[in-house]
Amino acid sequence: MTDRVQSILDWIATVPLEELRKHPLHPQNRPEKMWRYYPAKAWLPPICQKNYGKWKKRRIIDPGIVEVTSETGDKLYLVKIIIPVRISTKSMYELLDLADKYGIGWIEASKMGNLIIMCDNEENARALAKELRERGYLVGGWGNRLWNIKICSTYITCTTAVLDAVTIEKALGDVLYEYTQKELPAKLTIKVSACPNACGGGFDAADIGIVGYPASIPMMEGWRIRVLCPPRSLLEACPVGDIKMIKDEKGRPIAAEIRGQVCMACGRCHDFCDAIAYDPAEIGVMVLVGGKCANTGVGPGMAKVFVPFIPAEPPRWPTLVAVIKKIIDVWVANAKKGERLRDFIERIGWDKFYELTGIPKPEDYIKPLDKAPGWTRYGWQPLYLRRTDENKRYIGTRISNDMMAISAAIFEDIIK
Ligand code: SF4
Ligand code: SF4
């Protein structure tokens, strides 16, 4: 410590706190230098700041335009553009220009991945929606409609991805396009995540969630480990200790191996090291239904696994698309007005919902597959059967080898 620093510390120790706070160098007196809380309200456009807490009425005047009215008499028109998670800079500049031309120059990015352009009069909002549609943008999704198919960032930025969520979004979007325009019983959200980390959602508050996961433990090229990452670090990355170190005759770590006994295919090792990969022939998705945040109906709740595994079929995902379409069509045909998917299923019962969709219940086809004695319960990935021996020790966590073929067979009728 230098003498100067020491002298400052000595001085600080002698000065009362109140005096210290008045010093011109105290951060409190230099707000421009401080890391400080920046109120969210400050980011709002002037019309929103003026009417903060005063909005009283909301009216949908077009599938893609909502009119909000303030008690001050001000009105705001929100034009919703349903976009994929990625958008080119060219499109972004195009939208910004349109926001300046028709709107008040502000764009909001919504939680479901949509862009909302704000206008201050109906004429401009309608003209904007018309021009957007003419340019090929999807304008819609307000109210009781499909709000968007939201996906995680998947391969482009993420090393954990099990599959490509973008192709799922495209395949589903092509089929579900009309639901962004036509009136449904209630709001509908779909979220897709390419691995069980679920950054894009799926396990939580989505009416329909799609989550990718591997149906077998990762493959490892043991010899490459020593080139690409230190084996000891790899061992530490595995939360269940399923990775074994291979040592040379002098006891030095030279490679690693996945034992496959308690591996739960979490993907941490895959994220950690490029010598570890999923077998592309053994990956797929689970489908979850009924998640929502709203306190309407039966209240908020997490989504539940509806179909535990559908093998990956990129790029058009025919089985998955058929299953999702079936779920929505059954809901649309049978739900009462205002009934979210979860409310509808809770009213008729989960068994009845399986019956109406024609999709078999998971326990009808998962349990009989495993004849190993003593297996106790499913893990968080429903296909991974955690088995124990007579002494209740775990002896393995593996998917049945027949599962892929059986999953394909049971959905054959639905695809037709
Ligand atoms: S959900 Fe998985 S694949 Fe998608 S961004 Fe998150 S970690 Fe990556
Ligand atoms: S996938 Fe997860 S549990 Fe399996 S070996 Fe890798 S880190 Fe361990």
pLDDT (0 to 100) of residue 158:
87
pLDDT (0 to 100) of residue 404:
57
CATH of the domain spanning 147-216+278-416: 3.30.413.10
Report domain extents, the chain.
3-33, 50-142, 147-216+278-416, 219-277
The predicted-structure confidence for 161-198, as pLDDT tens digits, reads as follows: 999 999 999 999 999 999 999 999 999 999 999 988 88
What is the rounded average pLDDT of the residues 236-265? 82
CATH of the domain spanning 50-142: 3.30.70.3340
The atom number, within ligand 2, closest to the CA of 262 reads 3
Domains 147-216+278-416 and 219-277 alike in fold: no
Q: Does any ligand 2 atom lie closer than 6 A to the CB of residue 162?
A: no
Q: Is the pLDDT of residue 373 over 50?
A: no
Does domain 219-277 fall under CATH 2.40.30.10? My reply is no
pLDDT (0 to 100) of residue 43:
81
- Give the Å distance between the CA of 154 and the centre of ligand 2: 19
Q: Does any ligand 1 atom lie closer than 6 A to the CB of residue 99?
A: no
Q: Is the pLDDT of residue 397 over 70?
A: no
pLDDT (0 to 100) of residue 367:
53
The predicted-structure confidence for 73-122, as pLDDT tens digits, reads as follows: 999 999 999 998 788 999 999 999 999 999 999 999 998 999 999 999 99
The atom number, within ligand 1, closest to the CA of 211 reads 1
The predicted-structure confidence for 327-367, as pLDDT tens digits, reads as follows: 999 999 999 999 999 999 999 999 999 999 998 887 776 65
pLDDT (0 to 100) of residue 230:
73
Residues of the chain above pLDDT 70, percent: 84
Q: Does any ligand 1 atom lie closer than 6 A to the CB of residue 195?
A: yes
Q: Does any ligand 2 atom lie closer than 6 A to the CB of residue 256?
A: no
Task: Decide: 138 and 81 in contact? Cβ < 8 Å.
Answer: yes
Tell me the whole-structure pTM to 2 decimals. Answer: 0.82
